[in-house]
Each structure stands twice: as C-alpha cells, then as structure tokens.
Structure 1
Amino acid sequence: MSDAAGTDATVEISTDGACLGNPGVGGWGAVLRYRGKEKRISGAETETTNNRMELTAAIEALALLTRPSNVVIWTDSSYVKDGITKWVAGWQRNGWKTAAKKPVKNDDLWQRLLDEEKRHTVQWRWVKGHNGDHYNEIADDLATSAARNLRDAP
C-alpha cells in the first residue's frame, strides 16, 4: 500500500468510529484497499467520544501509508468530512476558535489529521452509515469490536 506515488493507483480507505456511551469506551476502524490488497486496522480508548474516534480512524489510516499517495477516504461522519473540507481553514485562521470565538473541539486531532493529510492527495467522500456499504460495514464492525473488546477486557 505504499507505492502509489507517481502512479494512477489510488488507496481507498473506509473509516468509522464507535462509542459505547458518548463519552465512553470508544473504538475506531479502517479498511485500506490498494491494487487488490486489503488491510484492516482498529484501536480503542477508554474515555472518549464518537467524534474523536471518527477522526482517529482517518488519522491512523493515513499514518499507515509510508509514501505520498493518492487517497480517497470514505467516511459516514459529516463532522469529519465537513470539518476537513469546509471548516478547518477558518478554524486555523481564527487561532483554533469557532466563529463564535469558542475553542474548537478536538483541535489536537484536527491538527494531527491535517499533518497526515498534507503528505497525500486526499479526496474526502461521504457515505451513508448503516446503509449496506460493504466497506463502511466492515469499518463499523472493526470500530465496535475494538470498543467492546476494551470494555470487556479483564
């Protein structure tokens, strides 16, 4: 999945986050697809929110790519898609404050996402969650399983 630079090849990534309680135990998952290969990744945190897990899924997936790549990220989170494509430039201009002059929530993750994104050429796409999209369902299962595994660990 690391030799997309300089080619027409695109890494397709489907991401999702889940939270058992919000805030609560959360998980994230991503499915990366490149030239017929597939890699699934996931993780979890004890005290988090769904939005943080949605962001973490995209960050971790992009961080996994070892070279600059052409990437399409599919997310069912309007928060992530709109945040990165519409809102983040204004937040940066405003010193990580909203239009209402309040601190941007999850600014640490937004900054990490920007750092990961700038290494690549990324297109952001929204997909309706829980609507039968094969890779969104896999990402959702990865995120939910990671959260449950952490919650139920001895």
Structure 2
Amino acid sequence: MTITAAADGSALGNPGPAGWAWYIDEETWRAGGWPHGTNNMGELMAVLDLLRSTAHRADEPLRVLCDSQYVINSITRWMPGWKKKGWRKKDGKPVLNVELMQALDAALAGRDVSFEWVKGHAGHELNEAADVRARAVATSFQTGRPAPTGPGFGDRDATAPPVHGGPAAAASAGAGALAAEAKLFGPGPGATAVDDGPDPVEERHDPDLLSELLAHEQELARGLTPEQEVEQHERRLLDPAVRGDPRRAAELLHEDFHEVAGSGRWLDRRAALEVLAADPGSGPYDVDVLARRRLAGTAVQLVYRLTASSRTTIRSSTWIREDAHNELGPWQLLLHHATPES
C-alpha cells in the first residue's frame, strides 16, 4: 500500500528560528527544527525525516506531497548532476545544504519514492497540517515555548536526539527538534531560542512562490525577449504589494544581491529586504525605460528613470538566470544602483 505524506518547512527570518514537519494523519506525524535555519533546510529535513521514519517499510511506495519546487527539483532533477560533479553546481560552486542533500541521496537508495507538487495555503488538508506543525516549531524556538514534535510513525519509536545545529547536525540526527511525544501545541520539553535580536523580516510560508515565479516566467516567455521579460520583473518588484511581502520580494532577489541605494548606502540582500518591508512605498510610479541590454545569454541590464511623487532617480538593474544542472532558473536581480537625477 502506498504511504502518502505531506512535507513542509518554515523559517521566521530566513535564516532564523526554523521548523519542519511531515504529516500523514493525526496519529502519524513528526516535527522538529532549529533555533537558526532556513526555509529550504526545513523543507529538505522534512523529507529526510519522513524517509528515515518509514525506512522499516521500505518495500511500500512512498508518495511525498511538497509545495516546494526547490525540494522536488533538487531531488528528482538536479541531484544526479551534482553527484557527478562532486556535489558542486555547474559553475563550480558548492551545492547549498549539501549535507542534507547527501543524506537524502542515501535515504532514497532502493526506495520507491514519488514527489508531487501541491500549492501551499490552498486548502490541501495534508499540506496545511504539515505547514501548521512546521510553523509551530519555528515559533516555539522564537518564543522559548515548548516545541511540538508529534508521535512519529506509529509502529516505530519516534524518539531521537534533539536537532539544534545547522544542516550537518540535522542530517546526522535525522530527527525532531526535541526528543518527546506531544500533541500539537501540547506540553513538552522547553526549547530555548538563540538571541539574534529582533528580525523585522518574517519568512511567511505562503504558497510556494518559486513555483509561481517559474510559472510566471513561462507565461512571460511566450513571445517576449529576455529584455522584455526582465522589464516585466522589474515592474513587478516596484509593486508595493510585492515589496512589502518579504517572501515575494526575496524570490526576485539573487542570494548575492547588492544595491547602491539613492542615499549612497550599500545594501546586501538581507538589508534590502528589511528596508523594503519597513517602507514598501505606495506608488504610483512613472517608469521611463532608457536602455535594455543583453550582457550575455543569461544576463540583462535595465536602465530606467523612476519618478515617485516629486522625486526622480536613474536606476540600473542587472538581472541573471542561473543554470542548475542544465535547467535555467527564474530571472533574479543581482545588482541594483539608484542615483538621484540632477
């Protein structure tokens, strides 16, 4: 009989207090997390713990429901290429979350496992249940309250050492954040959050925005040049609704994003997201495109004049698409420069 389970992750701050969970039914679920981790770590760890929790029934097919295209593509499409290259990407850079990826590769060996994408926060019963539990653990680390960890897989002992470290600790332990059985929001051992200070950027686990962005890319690509696609994304990033939502804005910014703001301040990705969340603006904006240049097959520069109220700036944005195992990802903003017009 096929085992069907949803796996999900959550992070408050990204990185920040993080949780993961898999869910089959009210009597069969598991959750854990870390005081400091990322949403992607949570998504991966949920699948890893599910594989290990069902290893004693490895002869049965396992169907995993995920709202993360990152997890699904990493496991089903990109992992073989990464392994051949010594767990490095095509550009030679190390694979992110490599310890978790290697642990997943080992846990998948000999298993009949299929993955199915489901839209998050769309009323899917299993996905919603996993999301609630993952978020509850992340919140417990943020507030210092007890962390719900769940009963595990019924006919298998769910107890295991705590996971309080980074991805290496998660991969080696392969278990919940705390070694206890508890009902959701019920009593359990305390969890102490690390003191990283206030973090204004909250990683809301809304519908998987990477999948939405990829779908948006496909729609835009119909009849549009890369320069036109980039202009569409730049206008999207100017939308106050996107700028004010850290998760939506984060999907448009490359992990190595940097900005020279109009004030002269140099911002990295995290600082830029904090600024956007604190002041997303209200629009409307008048955009006058001055130049669109393809710097390479997967890089485009957009130069434009932005007028907001009575203030005008000249802006330059460099967007790129990265190749992961011969699969182009979405357009993401790598560098942005704003200068007040004299």
TM-score with structure 2 length normalisation?
0.41
Aligned residue in 1 for 2:14:
22
Structure with higher RCO (Cα < 8 A, 6+ apart):
1
Aligned residue in 2 for 1:58:
47
**Structure 1 residues 17-49: Cα deviation after superposition (integer angstroms, max 9, x where no partner):** 00010100100011135xxx8501100101111
**What is the CA–CA distance in structure 2 between the aligned matches of 1:117 and 1:31, rounded to whole Å?**
19
**What is the CA–CA distance in structure 2 between the aligned matches of 1:93 and 1:101, rounded to whole Å?**
12
Aligned residue in 1 for 2:5:
13
User: Any idea what SS the aligned residue of 1:104 has?
Assistant: coil
**Structure 1 residues 64-120: Cα deviation after superposition (integer angstroms, max 9, x where no partner):** 011313100000010000110110000001111101111000110011111111142
Aligned residue in 1 for 2:78:
87
Identity value in percent: 36
Runs of 4+ in 1 over 3 A off after TM superposition: none
- Return the letter of the residue paired with 2:67: D
**Retained in 1: the 8 A contact 2:8–2:42?**
yes
Please, which runs of 5 or more residues in structure 1 have no aligned partner?
A: 1-8
Matches within 5 A, 1:70-149: 70-149=61-140
Q: Does 1:44 align with 2:33?
A: yes
Please, which runs of 5 or more residues in structure 2 have no aligned partner?
A: 145-191, 193-342
The structure that has the greater radius of gyration is 2
**Retained in 2: the 8 A contact 1:32–1:61?**
no
Higher helix share goes to which structure? 1
**What is the CA–CA distance in structure 1 between the aligned matches of 2:111 and 2:28, rounded to whole Å?**
18
1:67 to 52, 57, 68: 57
Q: How many residues align?
A: 143
User: Any idea what SS the aligned residue of 1:96 has?
Assistant: coil
Aligned residues: CA RMSD: 1.3
